[in-house]
Structure 1
Amino acid sequence: MKILSAIGIAATSLLLFSCKTAKPTQSTNPVKVMSSMDSLLQTTDLSGAHVGIAVYDPTAKTYLYQHQSDKYFIPASNTKILSCYVAMKYLGDSLVGLRYVDKGNGTIEIEPSGDPSFLHPDFPNQPVYDFLKKQKNILLTHQNWKAKGWGMGWSWDDYESDYMAQRSMMPIYGNLVQFKKTTSPIASPTFFQQLLKVDPTITGANYTIRRAIGANQFSAIPAKTAFTGDDIPFYTDDKEILSQLLRDTLKTTVTSVDFKVERWPDVVKIHSQPIDSMLKIMMHRSDNFFAEQCLLMAGNELMGEMNTAKLIDSILKTSLKDLPQKPKWVDGSGLSRYNLFSPEDFITVLDKLRNEFAWNRLANIFASGGNGTLGSYYKNSPGKIYAKTGTLSNNVALSGYLITSKGKTLLFSVLVSNHTGNVGNIRRSVEQFLNQVMASQ
Structure 2
Amino acid sequence: MKTKILMALLLWLCAGAVATAQTAAADSLPVRIDRLVANKLPQGSNVGICVYDLTTNKYIYQYQADKLSRPASTMKLLTAITALDHEGGDEPFRTEVWCKGRIEGDTLRGDLYVVGGFDPEFDEAALDTLVAYVARSRFSVIAGKVYGDVSMKDSLYWGSGWVWDDNPYSFQPYLSPLMLCKGVVSLTARPGQKGEAAEITTSPASTYYRVVNRTVSRTPSAGRFRLTRNWLEEGNDLLVSGNVASAQGGKVNVRGSERFFMHTFVERLRASGVECDSCYGFSEFSRDSTSRCLIRYETPVINVAEQLMKKSDNLNAEAMLCRLGMQATGKKHVSADDGLSAIRMLIKKLGFDPDDYNLADGCGLSNYDYLSPQLLVGFLKYAYSRTGLFQKLYKILPVGGMDGTLKNRMKKGTLSYRNVHAKTGSYTGINSLAGYLKTSEGHWVAFAIMNQNVMSGRQARAFQDAVCDEIIR
The answer to whether TM tops 0.5 is: yes
Sort the TM-score into its range (normalised by shorter chain): 0.7 to 0.9
2:65, 2:180 → 1: CA distance? 40
1:315, 1:418 → 2: CA distance? 27
Alignment partner of 1:33 out of 8, 26, 29: 29
Q: 1:263 to 1:162 in 2, by over 3 A?
A: farther
Partner residue in 2 for 1:53? 49
Matched position secondary structure for 2:305: helix
Q: 1:308 and 2:336 equivalent?
A: yes
Instruction: Calculate the TM-score normalised by the size of structure 1.
Output: 0.81
Written as runs of structure 1 = structure 2, the 5 A alignment for 1:40-439 is 40-43=36-39, 45-90=41-86, 92-99=89-96, 101-103=98-100, 105=103, 108-119=112-123, 131-132=133-134, 134=136, 137=142, 138-182=146-190, 183-192=198-207, 195-199=210-214, 202-204=215-217, 208-213=226-231, 215-220=234-239, 222-224=241-243, 226=245, 228-236=248-256, 240-251=259-270, 252=274, 253=276, 255-261=280-286, 270=296, 272-302=298-328, 303-317=331-345, 321-322=349-350, 324-326=352-354, 327-358=357-388, 359-370=390-401, 371-379=403-411, 380=414, 381-420=416-455, 422-439=456-473
CA contact (8 A) 1:45 1:426 kept: yes
- Aligned AA for 2:149? T
2:134, 2:346 → 1: CA distance? 36
- Aligned AA for 2:95? L
Q: 1:221 to 1:180 in 2, by over 3 A?
A: closer
CA contact (8 A) 2:54 2:443 kept: no
Give the alignment's Cα RMSD to 1 decimal.
Answer: 3.1
- Aligned AA for 1:38? D
Q: 1:73 to 1:323 in 2, by over 3 A?
A: farther
Matched position secondary structure for 1:368: coil
Mean Cα deviation higher: 393-402 or 356-365: 356-365
- Aligned AA for 1:170? L
CA contact (8 A) 1:367 1:373 kept: yes
Matched position secondary structure for 2:248: coil
CA contact (8 A) 1:325 1:341 kept: no
CA contact (8 A) 1:144 1:260 kept: no
Q: 1:174 to 1:88 in 2, by over 3 A?
A: same
Matched position secondary structure for 1:186: strand
Mean Cα deviation higher: 213-222 or 384-393: 213-222
C-alpha deviation, 1:119, in angstroms: 1.4
Partner residue in 1 for 2:10? none
Mean Cα deviation higher: 399-408 or 99-108: 99-108
1:125, 1:365 → 2: CA distance? 26
Aligned length: 405
Matched position secondary structure for 1:140: strand
CA contact (8 A) 2:52 2:445 kept: yes
C-alpha deviation, 1:429, in angstroms: 2.0
Q: 1:129 to 1:343 in 2, by over 3 A?
A: farther
C-alpha deviation, 1:34, in angstroms: 1.8
Mean Cα deviation higher: 43-52 or 164-173: 43-52
Structure 1: runs of 5+ lacking an equivalent = 1-27
- Aligned AA for 1:415? M
Q: 1:100 to 1:300 in 2, by over 3 A?
A: farther
Partner residue in 2 for 1:6? none
Q: 1:85 to 1:126 in 2, by over 3 A?
A: farther
Mean Cα deviation higher: 377-386 or 157-166: 377-386
2:284, 2:93 → 1: CA distance? 20
User: Deviations 1:190-237 (Å, cap 9, x if unpaired)?
Assistant: 2247623345xx533756332122534314354256571211101126
2:260, 2:124 → 1: CA distance? 17
Q: 1:354 to 1:119 in 2, by over 3 A?
A: same
Instruction: Calculate the TM-score normalised by the size of structure 2.
Output: 0.76
2:371, 2:131 → 1: CA distance? 39
2:302, 2:26 → 1: CA distance? 38
Identity across the alignment (%) = 21
1:86, 1:224 → 2: CA distance? 47
CA contact (8 A) 1:40 1:430 kept: no
2:287, 2:340 → 1: CA distance? 24
2:319, 2:300 → 1: CA distance? 15
Q: 1:198 to 1:48 in 2, by over 3 A?
A: closer
C-alpha deviation, 1:154, in angstroms: 1.8
Q: 1:408 to 1:147 in 2, by over 3 A?
A: farther
